[in-house]
Amino acid sequence: MKTVASFTIGYRQILDPDGRVVDALPEFAKDPAVLVELYQRMSFTRVFDGKAVALQRTGKLGTYASCLGHEAAHIAIGMAMRPEDVFCPMYREYGAQFVRGVKPRHVLMYWGGDERGNDFTGPKHDLPWCVPIATQCLHAAGAALAFKLRHEPRVAVSVVGDGGTSKADFYSALNSAGAFQLPYVSVVVNNQWAISVPRSAQTGAETLAQKGLAGGLHCLQVDGNDVIAMMAVMQEALARARRGEGGTVVEAVTYRLSDHTTADDARRYRGEDEVKEAWAREPLKRLRQYLESLGVWDAAREQAWKEQCGREVDVEVNAYLETKSQPIEAIFDFLYAEAPHDIAAQRAQAIAWEGRGHG
């Protein structure tokens, strides 16, 4: 029997877990100032994340999806994209969104149950948070098709988790991207757990990146805890798309250091040793060690930066807490241009229950 086709999945890592350079540095990484900015953005995101979890635990925020451990992948996505590109996130890519201009207060508003949070600052063409699993992949493929038809040098980027790659939406998006040679980058943030389902039980595929091969996409795996490798891979994938060379699937291998959301207790399904081992590979530690080896970061800078992040996050938290709630009728007022009879009746009933009459 002859072989009609064969494929390989490449793997990219530049900084190992101990902060040592193990492959050639891309051009941007030769500038220490760029690396410091990457570290500072990751660190800010982690400070924000910890504050958001604390707000939820004290009853000041609804269920919240932590991004602890994902900072390198998310920051690299945001830094590599252009403003005119379209970002189609899942529901925990705050770092990428902060880079693109979203204010933390809007993230808090969203998880606080206020949909005005989805009218966030930043590019208005970016899509809102998407809780239905993998549907954002189709949205991104649709945007990419529009870019191609309009001959616009723009790229659509979506993010999906390891569990989301088992959904038909994910496969359909990849099939469309391959069939039409779309400027689409699908980032799979493989954090090893789809809520309580481990990666090992999710699929028989040796890698998640290879799922794009059947669609005809360029596919590779990257150390998702290595922000330098992650950003280099994203830059290359975006450049390929802009040159008309089609889509890419990037599997970022990382680990969810937190619970799936604040409504979850990961201790019920995964062991302490596994999490402890993952902490040894986390993204901030390795970049900080590398920056220290270059002499551009130290304990004093670390402390000063954390304090500054704390102050900035507090400003955003206060802005969120001081935002007045919308009146009850807002639930109904933005459903239709002209409210049907049953919706109008429900609106009047809700107002009556508040004791405000039938305004």
Residues classed as catalytic: 256, 260, 269
CB 313 within 8 A of CB 45: no
Cα angle: 234, vertex 237, 241; to 5 degrees: 135
Burial category of 235 from C-beta neighbours within 10 Å (exposed 0-12, middle 13-18, buried 19 and up) = middle
CB 136 within 8 A of CB 160: yes
- The pair of structure tokens assigned to 270 is 């995964």
**Helix H or strand E encompassing 223:** strand 218-223
CB 26 within 8 A of CB 235: yes
CB 23 within 8 A of CB 14: yes
Q: What's the CA gap between 157 and 85, in Å, rounded?
A: 8
- Collapse the DSSP code of 161 into the 3-class scheme (helix H, G, I; strand E, B; otherwise coil) and give the result: strand
CB 227 within 8 A of CB 75: yes
Q: What's the CA gap between 321 and 65, in Å, rounded?
A: 19
Instruction: List, in sequence order, the alpha helices (H) in 81-209.
Output: 94-99, 104-111, 135-150, 168-179, 199-202
